[in-house]
Structure 1
Amino acid sequence: MSTTLFIGLGRMGRPMSQHIAKRFPTAVYDVFPGSVDAAAKDAQVTPVHNLADVSDVGTVIFMLPTSKNVEETLVGARLLDRLEAGALVIDMGSSVPASTQRLAAAAAERGVHYVDAPVSGGVAKAASGELTMLVGGKPAAIEHARPYLEAVGSTIVVVGDSGSGHAAKAINNLVSATNIAVATEAVLRGKAAGIAPERMIEVLNASTGMSQASCVKFVSHILPGTYASNFAYDLMLKDMGIAMEIDVPEAASTLTRAAYQLLAEGREHLGDQPDHTEIARVYEHLANVSINSINEEQA
């Protein structure tokens, strides 16, 4: 049986590779050798420290931070040239749709299937194998990829042709970040009206203002002051930028453009490697007011 090569062993990639390895002979690679060795200790995978050493690869799965990383590996390192016709490439990271379309076209010239299947659900769902995948590609390629998608997730949403999965993921994260921003503004307005932050979140969650931001992000990360969702602010900002590059009339994107500009400019007020839930801390800085429970208690 041919080898499945899983590339990218970060917080989400590592547990995802373990689920893949339960069903398919799997080799793992990362630019950080320590991550490769650690993954090999936790699962029945073959560690790879040099891509040139891998042979008989039938499927390549990427879980990398950017399109540039994917391009450098697939094209720059000539991995695509080594794949036989009928092989499969799945990009499960958050890439730029236009880049995905170019890579899919290059793969098609070699008879290689290409699917973009960015995931949603965070580290917890990656660990449990219950991710949601937003899938783009040709129907035959998607069916070829389905067993691998089912190995890591519980929900598969096919959204269209190549690049559409990555577009959908970026748009989803644009909404997610904007929801956090709006919920934070609601908390600030509530506080100005004499409503404690936790009470204002309780109001939203019992009413029509409820969102994933108010139900999960505020309750688990922002009000406690932990900011530990394990999804980086910079990655969220990158995805927002990808979504903003999708052309719509400017008059129809006033709200999201304002949110993106605010959070891009507010990045300078945060430290190294902030969590995306620290969107709330941008507002704390701008309003010079604390909104999480820890800061409230210390005030």
Structure 2
Amino acid sequence: MRIGFIGLGAMGWHMAGHLTQLDATVMVWNRTKSKAEAHAAQFGTISVDLDLLVQADFIFSCLPTSSEVEAILSAHPPKSGSIWIDCTSGIPFSAQQLSQSLKRQGVEFLDAPVSGQTIGAENATLTVMVGGHQPAFERARPVIQAFAGVIEHVGESGSGFAVKAVNNILMAANLWALSEGLSVLKVRGVSLDAALACINHSSGKSSMSETVMPQKIMSRCFNKTFALNLLQKDIGIALDLIAETGQQGSLLHCVQQLYNQIDRQTAEHIDFSAAIQVLEQYNQVLLN
């Protein structure tokens, strides 16, 4: 069995590394070739050109947007009989189009975005939400399992991307609401550590209160594990889904306005959690 992995960013680096635990040859490619060569040296993968990588049986992509995936697929078509597993947080409509076009070439396409941040990628505990043809999913499941803690087949093509976009806009809403609440408590003289201890044993808890707030915002350690511009992109995808279905989404539109206060160029270089500094500046209250 041959496995290819495209995109060795913060997530892909570890995900591709875990694939070496399988009884397979693992080939890797990155836009910066030296990074692929470093990955090969560390994990025992093989750095190759794209034309060779797309001859693998299972091909993973983990790239910033659907546009990069579409461009690679157009220039480097995979072999018939293979399965392309796209772990990008992409656009549902793109997944549907790629699935249809690749099927005519005898290739299956699964949209399989992941959640769990870099610690989940490092520990092989990622949640993977998969859209696509059920038989293709069953074939790919044992390979995906190498870096996953939870794998769910959520529907046909595009469904995985849709779930990921909704998940991320909910995460953004949770973080902002938590930050507003803690800001009020600090002004009233409440210890934020004590408040979080209560919240995390009560109905208001979330992964944002359990991890991101204490580990990033309150510690003032805004290390970039998930760039803000990527969260802005995912929020936009979620709102496009709302528009397509014609449903009410007034709260989630507010979330977009809050996170888009930072321009995309700046957002590319900072962690998503740093967006809360806008709220801190407005309220003149630091959450520490």
- The two structures share one fold, judged by TM-score above 0.5: yes
Distance 1:269 1:70, change over 3 A: closer
Q: Deviations over 1:232-264 (max 9, x none)?
A: 111111111111110357772111110111110
Offset, 1:198: 2.7
Aligned residue runs from structure 1 range 186-197, under 5 A: 186-197=181-192
Structure 1 distance, partners of 2:232, 2:54, is: 37
Which has the higher mean CA deviation after the structures are superposed, 92-101 or 264-273?
A: 264-273
Once the two structures are superposed, what CA deviation does each residue of 1:207-253 show, in whole Å capped at 9, x if it has no partner? 22111111111111111110226111111111111111103577721
> Which amino acid counterpart does residue 42 of structure 1 have in structure 2?
Q
Distance 2:162 2:226 in 1: 18
Corresponding position: 1:21 with 2:20: yes
Q: Which residue of structure 2 lines up, in the alignment, with residue 43 of structure 1? A: 43
Distance in 1 (CA, whole Å) between partners of 2:94 and 2:247 is 27
Identify the residue that residue 254 of structure 1 maps to in structure 2: 250
Q: What SS is found at the alignment partner of 1:173?
A: helix
Q: Equivalent residue for 1:164? A: 159
1:163-220 deviations in Å (ceiling 9; x for gaps): 1001100100000011000000001111232223333323322322111111111111
Alignment coverage as a number of residue pairs: 286
Residue aligning to 1:137: 132
- Confirm or deny: 8 A CA contact 1:241 1:260 kept in the other structure: yes
Q: Quick one: distance in 2 between partners of 1:53 and 1:8? A: 15
For the residue of structure 1 that corresponds to 2:88, the secondary structure is coil
Kept in 1, the 8 Å contact 2:230–2:268? The answer is no
Tell me the residue number matched to 1:274: 270
> Post-superposition shift, 1:96?
0.5
Aligned residue number for residue 6 of structure 1: 5
Counterpart AA for 1:7: I
Q: Which residue of 2 aligns with 1:290?
A: 286
User: Which position in structure 2 is the counterpart of 1:236?
Assistant: 231
Aligned to 2:88: 93
Amino acid at match of 1:291: L
Cα displacement (A) at 1:118? 0.6
Is this contact kept in 2: 1:269–1:285, CA < 8 A? no
Q: Is the 8 A contact 2:85 2:110 kept in 1?
A: yes
TM-score (norm 2): 0.93
| SS, match of residue 27 in structure 1 | strand
1:96–1:242 contact (8 Å) kept in structure 2: yes
Q: Is the Cα contact below 8 Å between 1:267 and 1:282 reproduced in 2?
A: no
Cα deviation, residue 267, structure 1: 4.3
Give the gaps of 5 or more residues in structure 1: 293-299
Native 8 Å contact 1:89 1:112 kept in 2: yes
Q: How does 1:195-214 map to 2 (within 5 A)?
A: 195-214=190-209
Distance in structure 1 (CA, Å) of the matches to 2:181 and 2:152: 32
SS in 2 for 1:135: strand
C-alpha spacing 1:251/1:98, structure 2 compared with 1 (3 Å): closer
Displacement of 1:59 in angstroms is 1.7
Q: How does 1:18-167 map to 2 (within 5 A)?
A: 18-23=17-22, 24-48=24-48, 50-54=49-53, 56-75=55-74, 77=75, 79-80=76-77, 82-84=78-80, 86-167=81-162
After TM superposition, the score normalised by the length of structure 1 is: 0.90
SS in 2 for 1:102: helix
- In 2, the alpha carbon distance for the partners of 1:254 and 1:47 equals 47
Q: How far 1:159 moved relative to its partner?
A: 0.7
